[in-house]
Structure 1
Amino acid sequence: MALTRLLAPGRATLARGAVGVRAAAQLRFSSTYDNLLVTRPAAGVQLVTLNRPKALNALSTPLIADLHAALRAADADADVGVVVLTGSEKAFAAGADIKEMKDKTFADVATENFIAGWSAAMQIRKPVIAAVNGYALGGGCELAMMADIVYAGDKAVFGQPEIKLGIIPGAGGTQRLTRAIGRARAMELILTGANFSAEEAAAWGLVARVFPAAELVDEAVKTAARIAGMGRLAVLAAKQSINYGLEVGQAEGLVFERKTFHSLFATADQKEGMAAFAEKRKPRFTHA
């Protein structure tokens, strides 16, 4: 694949709002989503906040549709390098919307391929950091696990309690949780429906870092801004290589990594990055 195809041209009009990040006052974009607030708290960083407070950000079909639209807009916007996804301090997302699901039949969910679009919503090329405060249960935990990096507030609570409702996780919980923390722990948690803490999630490798709840979003934005300051083609290539390697064997993954590494030598950012290193100055990446 030609590396230049990883970064599509074009810009998109993004959404508005300001939650949890002081720098969000610098927002300069306007649009609307019914279930999201979207801000630009730092250069190259798009902050997407789930916004169904009365339902503890329960994941409904309209919310997922808004999320899909917002993330696709961010992916197409040349000014965005990284997306931070968060909720409120009380709930990242307390689960799927049970009121929407409770009366559905097998024929309904099978015909609709119900919740298949949840994973599709998160499949963008640019990195996504999930900043998880409060409850991330069921679909909320699954949504967090779809992100490339997960940060958690110190009071965050994770879990896959679907078994208590007579069902199982359906948006990747049995697969992603097992890959993240191992078969034994995932089996215990999914079969009992037990919750687990941010500290446990970090110790098991599901969460990269834990911060005080009030500092979480700011810290996630700081990391996002740091990543956004790198050469975008290299960032996209690194994400693609990591994810591809998880889906294939190591030998095939190594071949893909090496070819991708080689292709980066066709970019202006490689020339600039190495020249800056040799000249002992900060690189000025142009994402080309």
Structure 2
Amino acid sequence: MAGLEIKIADGIATLTINNPPQNRLSNELMAGFMDVVRRVNEDRDIRVLLVRADGPNFSFGGDISRWLELGPGEMHDQLAAAIQLFNAFEQLPVPVVAAVQGRCLGGGFELVLRADVIIASEKAVFGHPEQSLGVVTLLGGVQRVAERAGRTRAMRWALTSEHVSAAEMHAAGVITEIALDGYLDDVANTWVARLAKGPTRAHAGHKKMLGAWATGGIEAADELLPAMAEELIQTTDARRGIASAQDALRRGVERPVLKFDGK
């Protein structure tokens, strides 16, 4: 796939963006990304997805080289397809971890905002350059920053296009963890190894509940719980986990840490 590489091993899918010099999200790359999303959705042996990028920077965002050549209808259709693809990525039934270094801007930032866990190197910076082009964040960026960090910060960063440090993003609750310089891959790999051994179906349930909360609030998320719990309690992972807890309770010992099968 042009600009993308995917490797799958031990339940971990690793997607690497490699489209130098700026890791722009070209049309060819987006087509490959669509194939990756479809594959992760269909392959039940995949239990976590790691998204990373080669080079000094994660991504400068979308490929703007042909924007002025597109007619209004073409621009509409292209963006609608891209938003649909990013939404499908956001709704994948496995945890998604993003590992970010250098500059993470525009569409690259909007892609990362769809991940469940965002690990950034201490020197990483994030930003919305769109207003400097006279447009808005085109793939759902400003509203997802607002969801994580509040309207005030989201509006400030969208209005100014300033580059925001990993430290400020972490303090605002936009990213999950900061990795010391040179340790980004180590921290990200620790996360994905842990998640790959976890209860994959339950992780998908938490993603679904938070998605419902984001659009409909606590009540919408609560409505999902009875049916979700009924389904989950029949899974192999849940039955093993509950049986282990019951056994520990009977014997008066601490519950062991389980390695789940994702089923």
**TM-score normalized with structure 1 length:** 0.81
> Partner of 1:48 in structure 2?
15
How far has the Cα of 1:258 moved from its partner? 4.0
* Residues 1:59 and 2:25 aligned together: yes
**Would the aligned equivalents of 1:150 and 1:208 in 2 still touch at CA under 8 Å?**
yes
Is residue 260 of structure 2 the alignment partner of residue 285 of structure 1? yes
Distance between the aligned counterparts of 2:223 and 2:161, measured in 1? 40
Q: CA separation in 1, counterparts of 2:155 and 2:259? A: 47
The equivalent residue for 1:255 is 223
Shift of 1:275: 2.1
Residue in 2 aligned with 1:229? 197
Matched residue, 2:83: 116
Compared CA separation, residues 162 and 266, structure 1 to 2 (3 A)? same
Judging changes above 3 Å, is the alpha-carbon distance between structure 1 residues 235 and 168 closer, same or farther for their aligned structure 2 residues? same
The equivalent residue for 2:42 is 76
The residue that corresponds to 2:187 in the other structure is 219
- 1:131 and 1:150 in contact (8 A); partners too: yes
Measure the CA separation in 2 of the matches of 1:267 and 1:121: 24
What is the SS of the residue equivalent to 1:206?
coil
RMSD: 1.9
2:104–2:126 contact (8 Å) kept in structure 1 = yes
Q: Say which of 40, 46, 52 aligns to 1:86.
A: 52
Unaligned runs of 5+ in 2: 249-254
What is aligned with 1:144?
Answer: 112
Structure-2-length-normalised TM-score: 0.89
Alignment gaps of 5+ in structure 1:
1-32
> Aligned partner of 1:94: which letter?
F
Shift of the alpha carbon at 1:120? 4.0
Structure 1 residue 111, shift from structure 2 partner: 4.6
SS in 2 for 1:91: coil
Match of 2:96 among 100, 114, 128: 128
The CA deviation string for residues 234-260 of structure 1, in whole angstroms up to 9 with x for no partner, is: 121122122222221212322323432
The separation in 1 between residues aligned to 2:181 and 2:38, in whole angstroms, is 28
Structure 1 residues 148-227: aligned runs within 5 Å: 148-227=116-195
Percent identity over the alignment is 30
> In structure 2, how many angstroms separate the alpha carbons of the residues matched to 1:110 and 1:267?
42
Q: Which residue of 1 aligns with 2:252?
A: none
SS at match of 1:99: coil
Paired residues in the alignment total: 254
- Residues in 1 aligned to 2:33 and 2:52: alpha-carbon distance in whole angstroms: 11
The AA in structure 1 aligned to 2:260 is F
Contact (CA 8 Å) 1:72, 1:124: kept in 2 or not? no
Question: Paired residue for 1:243, among 211, 225, 230?
Answer: 211
